[in-house]
Amino acid sequence: MFEMTTIEKIYKYLFENHINSDDISPKELSDVLKQFGEDEFQSDPVQNLSRDNTTYPENLFIQSHSDIAVVRRPRYRPHHKMHQHDFIEITYVYHGICTFIGPNHDKVSLKKGDLLLLATNTKHQLHTDADDSIVFHIAIRRSTFDKAFITLLDSQDVLSQFFSRVIYGSTPASYVLFELTDDKKISNLFLEMTHEMEQFDNTSRRMLNIYFEWLCVYLIRSYDYKIWIENLQSPPKDMVKILNYMRDNIKSITLKETARAFNYSKSYFCKIIKRYTGKTYGSIITELRMQKSCELLKNEQISIEEIASIVGYEDVSSFYRSFKRTYHITPSQFQQQNKAKAEINNLSK
């Protein structure tokens, strides 16, 4: 599939002989490398970092005139220390498996078709210690990621807001996992992007940006994602699953039932919701109910009384108060405004 490169042969030799290149002297390392070619060892950008440097900067992989870099990860590349990036990184397992070690030193086995979106400044390791492990990385400037990915999300949606907090480091999150299985469109895309990197010309920067934007749209449109959270006291939490559960059960949901569904006490559940979303349980439920009511109010066949009941309000007056407090207009006024907009759009066609 992909022949072993010289740098991969070096890394495999070190791996099989249990040699940590960070622990041996430069002379000892030089003696090992003589049988392969010492210059090849320095061709891997990671080897140009000092041994004490555990933060990978954007310019390590992304050229000054580029927004994105796509590389195939060298098999057996050693990572004996946790490290982090000041850029967004996507890891895609094209073939085989690899091991991801998160900030809590938990191990996640990534299989063929898994795509991992790693937030900036997340300490981690990644190991591809097998001949058939073919893994690609995309390094993306935060500004480019913002334009290509975050703008696809509805900023008013609770899940979208949480996703943004994850990527920009305002919640203690680690990574987002897309399970793509054997999606030929994605695997072929990574081959195309890698080819574009190899032949880099005057149009390659734009082409890579287009490829990446297509990837973002395709992921959001075609796949559900998991956002995993870690802390030192408990196992990872899939906050997307929790928020989806709250959204799907807004009519009759209670704090006690939601906490029980995920095996938490009420007090602890409230703490993790506040910690990872920046909002209280009650405020999230209100937001979800308001978002759902806006969708339903666009359908004139459903009465406001019915909508109030559907989204979990026992009386219409409470629904009116919540809606006006959120949007500064009444549900009736919202319907009128939406109807007027629809009429204007029809006239302009």
Spatial CB neighbours of 335, under 8 Å, sequence gap ≥ 6: 297, 298, 300, 304
Q: Is residue 163 very low, low, confident or very high in pLDDT (cuts 50, 70, 90)?
A: low
DSSP states of 21-68: TTTS-HHHHHHHHTTT-HHHHTTSGGGGS-TT--EE-GGGTS-TT-SE
pLDDT on residue 349: 56
pLDDT on residue 263: 85
State percent of the chain over pLDDT 90: 31
pTM over 0.85: no
Q: How many CA atoms lie within 13 A of 294 on its CB side?
A: 15
The residue that leads in pLDDT, 166 or 210, is 210
Given a cut of 90, is residue 128 above it in pLDDT?
yes
Residue-wise pLDDT tens digits, 271-312: 888 877 778 999 889 988 998 898 899 888 899 999 999 999
pLDDT on residue 162: 58
Q: How far apart are CA 214 and CA 186, in angstroms?
A: 10
Residue-wise pLDDT tens digits, 189-235: 999 999 999 888 889 889 999 998 898 888 877 877 665 555 434 55
Contact 97, 133 (CB under 8 A): yes
SS3 118: strand
pLDDT on residue 233: 45
Residue type, 270: C
pLDDT on residue 65: 85
Q: Mean pLDDT over residues 229-258, rounded?
A: 74
**Phi/psi of residue 270, each to 5°?**
-60, -40
Class of 48-229 in CATH: mainly beta
Lowest-confidence segment of 76-85, 154-163, 236-245 by average pLDDT: 154-163
pLDDT on residue 21: 79
pLDDT on residue 44: 82
Class of 280-348 in CATH: mainly alpha
Neighbours of 145 (CB within 10 A): 22
In the chain, CATH 1.10.10.60 covers 280-348
Could you tell me the CA-to-CA distances from 21 to 25, 47, 91, 167, 259 in Å, in that order? Answer: 8, 10, 24, 32, 48
Q: How far apart are CA 150 and CA 171, in angstroms?
A: 16
The residue that leads in pLDDT, 237 or 2, is 2
Contact 84, 122 (CB under 8 A): yes
Q: Is residue 111 very low, low, confident or very high in pLDDT (cuts 50, 70, 90)?
A: very high
Given a cut of 50, is residue 135 above it in pLDDT?
yes
Neighbours of 51 (CB within 10 A): 10
Q: Mean pLDDT over residues 341-349, rounded?
A: 68
In the chain, CATH 2.60.120.280 covers 48-229
pLDDT on residue 248: 86
pLDDT on residue 175: 73
- Residue 6 is given by DSSP the state H
Neighbours of 55 (CB within 10 A): 12
Residue 55, beta-bridge partner list: 84
Q: Is residue 158 very low, low, confident or very high in pLDDT (cuts 50, 70, 90)?
A: low
pLDDT on residue 138: 95
> CA quadruple 79, 82, 83, 89: dihedral positive or negative?
positive
Q: Which of 159-163, 227-231, 237-241, 276-280 has the highest mean pLDDT?
A: 276-280
Q: Mean pLDDT over residues 238-261, rounded?
A: 85
End-to-end CA distance of the chain: 53
Contact 31, 14 (CB under 8 A): no
pLDDT mean across residues, the chain: 83
Q: How many CA atoms lie within 13 A of 282 on its CB side?
A: 1
Given a cut of 60, is residue 62 above it in pLDDT?
yes
SS3 102: coil
The residue that leads in pLDDT, 97 or 154, is 97
pLDDT on residue 238: 64
pLDDT on residue 232: 37
